[in-house]
Chains A and B, each alone.
Chain A
Amino acid sequence: MAKNDDNLIDFGLDPAVEAVIHGHERNQEMRSMPLAERRKLKREQAKADKRKPRRFAVDMDEDLIEWAKETGEKYSCPASQIIQLAVQLMKDDVSSGTVNLHDYRVPANGPRYENRIFRKPVGENSS
Chain B
Amino acid sequence: MYFGKSKYIEKKECGMIFTVVNQKGGVGKTTTAVHGAAGLARRGYKTLLVDLDAQGNTADTLGIEAGNDLYPWLIGNKKVSAIGVEARENLMVIRSDKETAKIKTILAGEPFREMILINHLHKYQLDYEVVVLDCPPSVDVLHTAALMAADRVIIPTKLEQLSSKGVSEMMRAMATLRQQPTCRCELAGIIPTFYDKVTSESHIQLLNLTKAFNGKVWPVIPQDTQVREASRAGQTLFEFAPRSRAGEAYDQVVDRMEVIFRDGKKRR
Contact = CB atoms under 8 A, between A and B. Distances in A.
Interface of A: 1, 4, 6-14, 16-17, 20-21, 23-24, 27, 110-113
A24 B197 contact: yes
A111 B252 contact: no
Contacts of B218: 14, 16-17
Contact of A11 (B129, B195, B256): B256
Contacts of A8: 186, 263
A94 to B, nearest CB: 25
Nearest to A23: B197
Q: What's the interface size class on B, roughly? A: 20 to 34
Contact of A6 (B186, B252, B262): B186
B210 A9 contact: no
Contacts, number: 57
Interface in B224-268: 249, 252, 256, 258-260, 262-263, 267
Contacts of B217: 13-14, 17
Q: Closest 6 CB pairs between A and B?
A: A16-B219, A11-B215, A20-B220, A24-B203, A12-B215, A17-B217
B214 A13 contact: yes
Interface string B182-208: 000010000010010100000100110
A113 B256 CA distance: 17
A9 B263 CA distance: 8
Given A16-B220, A17-B210, A112-B44, A10 B129 contact: no
B-side interface mostly: helix
Interface in B58-108: none
A113 B263 CA distance: 17
A21 B206 contact: yes
A104 B172 CA distance: 52
Nearest to B252: A16
Contacts of A110: 262
Contacts of B197: 20, 23-24, 27
Contacts of B262: 110
Given A13-B215, A17-B220, A20-B197, 9 more contacts: A13-B214, A17-B210, A20-B206, A20-B220, A21-B210, A27-B197, A110-B262, A111-B129, A112-B44
